[in-house]
Amino acid sequence: PSRLTDVRLRNLVVSCIYSAEINDFIITSVDCIHLMEGLVGVEFTVEEKNRIRRNLEGLRPITVGKGRPEYAAFFRLIMNFPEPRPRNIEKDLKVFLWSDLEEALRKIIKKYTPSYS
């Protein structure tokens, strides 16, 4: 992983988004990982991010996307967010209940092993 700059750490922002479809507040997996990067002060490699996503599957995230009619409007809402965006690219994404954020962060940090280049 590479170290995050002080400027990026000071500007750490994640989105707490209300979903009428889910009737709850959510955080995207992208923002969850971004938050953890800010907390530990490093930018994770692609492999580390993929490992984190697999470890978070136990929290039963909800997959939202334009191909899922029940979440299409919510997906469009997320895709239209300005910078800093709670997603990386326009494809299906996993979202977690905001109330599960603490457990998600604990799960990530418990299994986090920094790799140094």
Asked whether residue 10 carries a pLDDT value surpassing 80, the answer given is no
* Alpha carbon distance 117, 108 (integer Å): 21
Stated as kind and residue range, the H or E segment containing 106 is helix 101-111
- Whether the predicted pLDDT of 4 surpasses 70: no
pLDDT tens digits, residue range 52-90?
999 999 999 999 988 899 999 999 998 888 876 667 667
The tens digit of pLDDT for each residue in 92-108 reads: 899 999 999 999 999 98
State the CB neighbour count (10 A cutoff) for residue 18. Answer: 12
The reported pTM is: 0.81
DSSP state of 70: G
Asked if the model's pLDDT at residue 11 lies above 90, the reply is: no
Instruction: Please state, in angstroms and rounded to a whole number, the distance separating the CA atoms of residues 5 and 87.
Output: 21
pLDDT in tens, 27-48: 999 999 999 988 888 888 999 9
84 cis-preceded (ω within 30 degrees of 0): yes
Both structure tokens of 51: 């490992």
| pLDDT at residue 116 tops 70 | no
